[in-house]
């Protein structure tokens, strides 16, 4: 299996440094060796202003994603993972700090970024081909051109026989594949995914995970996957960012260089990585239970290659 860029990526983000380094880490030491990130959070904070109260969802979030890198983000519920993706997609603006994508400050949705959401991603009143081609249509393509463009992506994702079907006629896994086809059709350099597989049964989930991995290897885009699943984070994250509870910040960064290897899901290193991640998540939760600051806000985040 040709695991695209595996060794390059591992080298570009060594333990304790690189694109994923949180505040206080020594990322700048290796700045010259790191390519311009496709996505970078710089001390970003976000506060939701509700009626009569404010909720700080993110605080001092700092990490970056290199071109072609696959990053998984995991953390407790409500830690601001989805908010982080909305900031990256240009759908929210940070209250403090900055978010850069493709070398420019993010102020609006960008042509180079695609976002896949857990639910609501597909429009039930549009056929598979029209859902997949919606991004192209919005960006000025004719309906005919958009349909032609997405046809190949749909065939590639095993949806060739369902182009005229409505989302309501598809299984959960097929619906997620349509969302993927939409992102593929946009040819975006950065793919953001907010728990895209959480509603799927175990077997379908593994199937779509394999599809995501295959697409990443073939297309060379960078991707950020927000997930609640430790196994999913380890299977799809070359680098895994552990976030603290609200207000979310980077709590730990785990390098996972064996990700993408053939048979990785059944390998001892996979289970070892899962175990290590489980310990980190439990530690983050314990810190909070003891009323302490999240680890990421006290000290440089724990980092290190798992395997």
Note the residues at the interface with another protein (CB under 8 A). Answer: 86, 89-91, 109-111, 113-115, 117, 119-121, 123-126, 134-135, 138-139, 165-166, 168-169, 182, 186
Closer by beta carbon to another protein, 89 or else 280 = 89
Q: How far is the CB of 185 from another protein (least distance, A)?
A: 10
- CB of residue 166 to another protein, shortest distance in Å: 4
Round to whole Å and give the CA distance between 232 and 72. Answer: 8
d(CA 237, CA 280): 16
Instruction: CB nearer to another protein: give 224 or 259.
Output: 224
Least distance (Å) between residue 287 CB and another protein: 31
Q: How far is the CB of 243 from another protein (least distance, A)?
A: 20
Q: Minimum CB separation from another protein for residue 69, in Å?
A: 20
For residue 252, the minimal CB distance to another protein (Å) is: 28
Would you say 30 or 166 has its CB closer to another protein?
A: 166
Of 170 and 283, nearer to another protein (C-beta) is 170
44-67 b/e (C-beta count within 10 Å ≥ 16 → b): bbbbeeeeeeeeebbbbbbbbbbb
Of the pair 182, 238, the CB lying nearest another protein is at 182
Nearer to another protein, 224 or 252 (CB): 224
């Amino acid at each position: 299996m040709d695991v695209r860029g595996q060794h390059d990526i591992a080298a570009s983000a060594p333990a304790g440094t690189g694109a994923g380094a949180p505040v206080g880490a020594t990322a700048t030491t290796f700045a010259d060796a790191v390519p311009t990130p496709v996505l970078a959070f710089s001390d970003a904070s976000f506060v939701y202003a509700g009626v009569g109260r404010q909720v700080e969802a993110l605080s001092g979030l700092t990490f970056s994603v290199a071109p072609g890198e696959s990053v998984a983000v995991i953390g407790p519920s409500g830690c601001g993972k989805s908010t982080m993706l909305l900031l990256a997609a240009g759908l929210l603006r940070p209250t403090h700090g900055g978010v850069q994508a493709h070398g420019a400050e993010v102020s609006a949705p960008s042509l180079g970024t695609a976002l896949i959401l857990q639910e609501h991603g597909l429009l039930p009143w549009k056929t598979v081909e029209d859902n997949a081609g919606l991004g192209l249509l919005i960006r000025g393509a004719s309906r005919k051109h958009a349909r032609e463009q997405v046809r190949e992506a749909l065939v590639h994702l095993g949806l060739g026989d369902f182009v005229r079907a409505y989302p309501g006629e598809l299984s959960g896994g097929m619906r997620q594949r349509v969302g993927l086809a939409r992102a593929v059709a946009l040819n975006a350099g950065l793919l953001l995914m907010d728990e895209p597989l959480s509603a799927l049964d175990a077997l379908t989930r593994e199937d779509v995970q394999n599809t995501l991995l295959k697409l990443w290897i073939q297309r060379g885009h960078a991707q950020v996957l927000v997930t609640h699943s430790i196994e999913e984070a380890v299977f799809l994250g070359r680098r895994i960012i552990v976030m603290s509870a609200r207000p979310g910040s980077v709590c730990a960064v785990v390098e996972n260089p064996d990700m993408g290897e053939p048979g990785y899901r059944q390998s001892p290193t996979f289970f070892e990585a899962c175990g290590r991640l489980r310990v980190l998540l439990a530690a983050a939760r314990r810190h909070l239970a003891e009323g302490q600051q999240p680890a990421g806000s006290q000290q440089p985040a724990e980092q290190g290659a798992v395997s």
